[in-house]
Amino acid sequence: MRKIGFVIPWYGEDIPGGAEMELREVATHLQRAGMDVEILTTCVREFSADWNENYYSAGTAVVEDIAVRRFPVRRRDTAAFDRVNRRLMEGQHLSLQEEKTFVEEMVNSPQLYEYLKDASDDYALYVFIPYMFGTTYYGMQACPEKSVLIPCFHDEAYLYLRLFRQAYIQARGIIYNAMPEMELANKVYDFTTTEQICMGIGMDTNICADADAFRKAYRIQKPFLLYAGRKDAGKNVHTLLRYFAEYKQRHGDSDLQLVLIGGGSIEIPASVRDDVYDLGFVSRQDKYDAMAAAELLCQPSHNESFSLVIMESWLCGRPVLVHSQCAVTRDFARRANGGLYFRNYFEFEGCVQYILTHPEQARTMGQNGGAFVRENFDWDVIVEKYRAFFAKLTEE
């Protein structure tokens, strides 16, 4: 098969999380499996950087053994983009001209789009990730018959833009991270003539975790709930802290504690400061050890497209507790029979109490989840899915 070009707004070995990390992992494993892959991106450093600044030099470099071809970005009207984006985030309806402003004044590289068109014979397919950026919107239009989209869709205002709905139905193929994402996409877009697959995200399933090592290293001997991830409002961690504080108030004799790991900061209620350990960033091995030691991992986010941490918790043998408002994590918990979900405080309390008082069932949920991850998301499984899907699209 000819070369696969992955197109993303920015790319670097030190960009954590999200679509950037997903693409790094996919490209790396496909190349190790013998496929010819290349990253096509802009010279912008990362999402939080100035989208007008060409941080990297244009041209081709090798990043962690992957060829990365970078193109300069054009100057943009940041103020115009911010005005339209603010209206979108506030739930306001945009005119068609405002939608055009949104796509025209975000991160864009005309030289990248010209390259995609001119060099298309050198590539079997172009794979674009994620859906809401100019590099995807304009890049896919440069060569729609070779375009595959990994959208990372959420139920958000951007999903419903008319320009996106018109452009993306031309895609040759769509790759989803989870079934609820696929179901949502087909409610909003007419993908009846587009090849689609629910792929998921690959995982290193050879995890070794030592609960005793974590307890000894951090001197945490009492039972605890675990949260792993960014501590910001978007992850709904404040709800977990509030519910934990209420749980402790209602169960005065409980010695249950809460452990937080990951970046960011959040105010801990005064009533539970002695029962909450905010460990910040820890090593990957310490994270796995913490998961093995926890009674359960709680993922309270409303908006996830996959959630690596619940998969990791299952691989460490522990059940998960997720928010029922997140269709993706709720679906995973149900399909794997690996955890519970809650909508309000009393459901949260009931779930926690069940896990604490049913250790055998909790252990079984963790084991069920681990088997589910190994069967569906081990890298050998994911690589073969990619290989088969690309072969189907290209008939090569």
- Pick from 310, 332, 329: nearest CA to 320: 310
Residues 24, 164 within the same domain: yes
Residues 196, 261 within the same domain: no
State the residue range of the domain holding 168.
3-202+378-394
Predicted confidence at residue 395, as pLDDT, reads 87
For residue 305, pLDDT beyond 90: no
Calpha distance 198→175 (Å, rounded): 6
From residue 23, alpha-carbon distances to 14, 27, 29, 170, 375 in Å are 13, 6, 10, 22, 21
Residues 274, 327 within the same domain: yes
Mean pLDDT, rounded, for 370-393: 97
The DSSP bridge partners found for residue 198 are 176
Calpha distance 172→393 (Å, rounded): 7
Residues 253, 386 within the same domain: no
Residue 122, both tokens: 């050198």
The alpha carbon of 335 is separated from its chain's Cα centroid by a whole number of angstroms, namely: 19
Residues 146, 247 within the same domain: no
Calpha distance 188→179 (Å, rounded): 15
What letter represents residue 85's amino acid?
N
Residues 69, 169 within the same domain: yes
For residue 278, pLDDT beyond 80: yes
Question: Tell me: the pLDDT tens digits for 64-120?
Answer: 899 999 999 999 999 999 999 999 989 899 999 999 999 999 999 999 999 999 999
Residues 238, 335 within the same domain: yes
Predicted confidence at residue 21, as pLDDT, reads 86
Calpha distance 167→132 (Å, rounded): 12
The DSSP bridge partners found for residue 228 are 261
Query: From the CB of residue 35, how many other CB atoms can be counted at a distance below 10 Å?
Result: 18
Predicted confidence at residue 40, as pLDDT, reads 98
Residues 324, 175 within the same domain: no
Residues 64, 121 within the same domain: yes
Predicted confidence at residue 108, as pLDDT, reads 98
The tally of domains found in the chain comes to 2
Question: Tell me: the pLDDT tens digits for 283-296?
Answer: 999 999 999 999 99
Mean pLDDT, rounded, for 252-269: 93
Residues 154, 243 within the same domain: no
Q: Give kind and range of the element (H or E) at residue 322.
A: strand 320-323
The alpha carbon of 108 is separated from its chain's Cα centroid by a whole number of angstroms, namely: 23
Q: For residue 37, what is the domain's CATH number?
A: 3.40.50.2000
The DSSP bridge partners found for residue 173 are 148, 195
Calpha distance 360→366 (Å, rounded): 10
Residues 163, 21 within the same domain: yes
Residues 337, 198 within the same domain: no
